[in-house]
Amino acid sequence: MQKIAVLTSGGDAPGMNAAVRAAVRRAAYHGIQMYGVYHGYEGLMYGDIQEMTLGSVGDIIHRGGTILYSARSEEFKTEAGQQKAIDQLNRRGIEGLIVIGGDGSFRGAQKISEKGIRTIGVPGTIDNDIPCTDFTIGFDTALNTVVDAIDKIRDTATSHERTYIIEVMGRDAGDIALWAGLAAGAESILIPEAENDIEDIVERLESGHRRGKKHTIIIVAEGVGSAGYYADEIKRLTGLETRVTVLGHIQRGGSPTAFDRMLASRMGAAAVDLLIECKRDRMVGIRNNVIVDVDFQEALSQKHHLDLSIYQLARTLSI
pLDDT tens digits, 73-92? 999 999 999 999 999 999 99
Active-site option among 48, 127, 260, 293: 127
Cα dihedral 141, 145, 151, 154 sign: negative
The average pLDDT across 95-101 equals: 97
Please say whether the beta carbons of 248 and 184 come within 8 A: no
The average pLDDT across 115-120 equals: 95
Please give the mean pLDDT across all residues of the chain.
94
Q: How far is Cα 276 from Cα 269, in angstroms, rounded to an integer?
A: 11
pLDDT range class, residue 160, cuts 50, 70, 90? confident
The average pLDDT across 224-229 equals: 94
The average pLDDT across 180-191 equals: 95
Among 159, 158, 229, CA closest to 187: 158
Q: How far is Cα 41 from Cα 167, in angstroms, rounded to an integer?
A: 31
Annotation marks residue 127 as catalytic: yes
Q: How far is Cα 156 from Cα 314, in angstroms, rounded to an integer?
A: 22
